[in-house]
Structure 1
Amino acid sequence: MTERESSRYIDATAADWIARLDRGPLSQEESQALEAWLAGDPRRRGALLRADALSLLSESAGALGSQFDPAKFAPPAPPPPPAPALSRRKLLAWTGAGGLAAASIGVLAISVQPAAAITTGLGEVRLVTLDDGSTVMLNTQSSLRVRYGDKVRRVELLYGEAYFTVVPDQGRPFVVDLPGEPLRAARGTFRVRKLEGKPVDILVDQGGVSLGEAGTADAVFLRANMRLTLPETASAPLPAPEAISADHVARALAWREGKIAFEGERLDQAAAEFARYSRTRIEIRDPALASEPVTGLFAASDPAGFGRAVASVFDARIEQQGGAVILTRRPGPR
C-alpha cells in the first residue's frame, strides 16, 4: 500500500514547481510531469494555488517599490521585471483558478445558497471560494449577494470593495450587477469599489471585463491595467477606460495584504482611508498640514503608527485622546 503524502510534503513540492515556473517556461517533459503530479492527489491543486499566492504576494510587494518607507515618504522604486507570462498562463490552465494574492488571509470555502449575502465587518478582509471555483475577496465593511443559476453566475456588490477571480464557464457568463450597465467577465481578476457618496470604480488586474451590450457602439472593454469610473447618472454614456501602470494597480490592491498605499494623496484623504479600517480616528487640526501630500505603504490596522510617521516627517505634534489620534502643527518661532 502506498504511503499517503503529508500536507507539508505536498506544500514543499508545490513551492518547488512554482519556483520552476517563475524561472521560465517548462519543457515538454516538465509540463507532463507537472500534469501527472497534479492528477495524483486532489490536495495538490490547492497546494499549487497557495504556493502561487505566496509568490504573487512577493511580486506585489516588490512592485510597490523598495523605497516605500513610511518614515521617509520616499517615492516608489521602479517595478521589478515581471515573471514570465507564459508560466502564469499555464498555471491558471492547470489549476482552473486565478492566482490568489491572499496567502495571509484565511480562505473560507462555502456552499453559497441562492441570494446568499456575504458581509465583512470593520477591519475584516475575507476570501470566499464560490461553488464554481471562482473567488471573491471582500475588503473591510463590504457586502456581496450571490445569485448563481443554471444560465448565469450573477453577483451584486451591495456596498464596499471586492476583488474577483473568475474561472471560465462557457455555459454561464459571470455578471456583476452595477448601477446602469452590468459588468461581464469570462475569465480574469478585477476589483470593483462601491463606496457611499462616490462613483463606482472598476480596476482590471488580469484578463478583461466588458460593460454594455456586446457588439454595440456603447460597449466598453477593459483589459489588464485599466480603470474606469462609472458616471453618477446611470443613463449617462460610459466614459473611455483609463490606462494605468502596474505600480498603480499594486497600490490600489494593497488592501488584500492588510496594507494601505498612498502616492501623493492629501493627508486628510489618507486619514479618511484609515477610517475605513479602524475605529481609531485620525484628526488633523491644521488646514495646511491636512493638505500635505503623503506617499508610503502602511498597515491598515495601525492608524497610530501612521500618525507617528506623519508627525516625524512634517514636524507635527501628535497626541492620542480616547479613540482619536490628533495631529497639529508645532508652534513656530516667535
Structure 2
Amino acid sequence: MTLPETADAINRTAADWAARADRGLTDAEAAELAAWLEGDSRRAGAYMRMTAVLVGTETEDSNATGAAWARRTPASGLTRRQWLVGGGAIAASVVGAGVWFGLDRQGRYVTRKGEKRVVALEDGSIVTLNTATRLEVRYSETQRLIRLADGEALFDVAKDAARPFIVRTGGVDVRAVGTSFTVTGGAGRPVKVLVREGVVEMVRPKAPTQLPMRLAANTRAVVADAASPAVIAKVEPTEVNRELAWREGRLVFAGESLSAAAAQFVRYSDTRIVVSDPVLAGSGVAGVFDANDPVGFAQAVAGSLEARAEVREGQVLVTR
C-alpha cells in the first residue's frame, strides 16, 4: 500500500514548482504542474504559500537597505529553490508564524502607511494588504472569517465549498468560495467591493430588509453607510486593473481632478499636497505615479499644468 505523501514532501515539491514558475514555465511544465496540483487537495495550498513567500521576499528585498538587507538576504550561493526549501526549509512554518507577512499570535495583520503586505493563509488563500490596513483572520470548521477593521485588501480565495470565505466590515458581509476581489472599509468610510474574478455575495446582516446581492466579475458595489442602499455598477477590466495598481506601489489616474488625485496620496504618505486655487484643483490629471512619492507627483503635474510646486515641511503647495 502506498503511503500518503507527507506535508514536508509536498512543501518541498511546491517550493520547487514556485521557483521554476518564477523563471517561467514551458507549456509542458505548466501541464505537469497542473497535473501535480490535481493529485492532492493539499498541494494547491502549499504551492500558493510558497508563491507568496517568493513574492514576499521580493517585496521586502526591493525595499531593503543596509543592515536590514543583510539580515534578510539568503546565504551566498543559494538558488531561489534552495532559499525556499533550504534557507527557507521551514517556509511553511514561517508563513504560519507570519515572520514575513506581519501575522501576530492573535491572527491580526497590519500594514503601516505606505506599506503593503502579501499574506498566505492556511487554506491557500492569499491576502494582499494595501496601505494602513488592519484585519483579523478567524477560521473555524464552518467558515473562514476576515474582519476588516480599516483599509483595503485584495483577497484571492482558495475554493472550499464547505467553508465560505467571508470578509466583514462596516455592517457588510462579502461571501465567496473561490474568487478574487477587493474590499475597502473601516474608520467611517464607505464600504467598497470590487470583484476581479468569479462571483461574490454581499449580505447586510444589520439590514434584514435588504436582500443579498450577487456581484459578478468586473463589478463594483459601494455602501455609503448603514442606512444607504448599495450602489452597483459594471466597470471595464482596464479600470479594475487601474484600481489594483497599488499592488505594484502605483497610482493610476485617467482624468480625475487634481484635488481627487491629491487626496489619494494622503493614504500613502504624511506629506500632503495642497491646492488652494479651485480652478487648478479641478484640472484633470492622467498618468502612472509612485504612490509613496507625492512630491514627484506634484512636480510632474505642476509642470504639465503650467503651475508651480513649492516643497515645504510636511506638504507640497501647487499654485499658479
Normalised TM-score (structure 2)? 0.70
User: CA separation in 2, counterparts of 1:126 and 1:270?
Assistant: 23
Structure with a larger share of its residues in helix: 2
Q: Is the 8 A contact 1:218 1:238 kept in 2?
A: no
Alignment of 1:127-138 (within 5 A): 127-138=118-129
Aligned to 1:35, what secondary structure does the other structure show?
helix
Match of 1:199 in 2: 190
Alignment of 1:1-334 (within 5 A): 11-12=19-20, 15-17=23-25, 20=27, 31-32=31-32, 35-36=35-36, 45=47, 49=51, 109-111=95-97, 116-194=107-185, 196-212=187-203, 218-234=211-227, 236-239=228-231, 241-329=232-320
Q: Is the 8 A contact 2:194 2:218 kept in 1?
A: yes
User: CA separation in 2, counterparts of 1:233 and 1:287?
Assistant: 32
Instruction: Indicate how the Cα distance of structure 1 residues 315 and 217 shifts in structure 2: closer, same or farther if over 3 A, else same.
Output: closer
User: CA separation in 2, counterparts of 1:10 and 1:198?
Assistant: 38
Question: What are structure 1's unaligned runs of at least 5 residues?
Answer: 21-25, 54-107, 330-334
Structure 2 counterpart of 1:228, one-letter code: A
User: CA separation in 1, counterparts of 2:18 and 2:194?
Assistant: 34
Question: What are structure 2's unaligned runs of at least 5 residues?
Answer: 1-11, 56-93, 98-102
Instruction: Indicate how the Cα distance of structure 1 residues 143 and 310 shifts in structure 2: closer, same or farther if over 3 A, else same.
Output: same
Aligned to 2:124, what secondary structure does the other structure show?
coil
Higher RCO (CA < 8 A, seq sep 6+): 1
Aligned to 2:199, what secondary structure does the other structure show?
strand
Instruction: Indicate how the Cα distance of structure 1 residues 32 and 118 shifts in structure 2: closer, same or farther if over 3 A, else same.
Output: closer
What RMSD, in angstroms, separates the aligned Cα atoms of the two structures? 3.5
Paired positions, count: 259
Aligned to 2:287, what secondary structure does the other structure show?
strand
Q: Is the 8 A contact 2:145 2:165 kept in 1?
A: yes
Instruction: Indicate how the Cα distance of structure 1 residues 33 and 122 shifts in structure 2: closer, same or farther if over 3 A, else same.
Output: closer
**Cα distance per residue 1:104-128 (max 9 Å; x no partner):** xxxx823467852211111010111
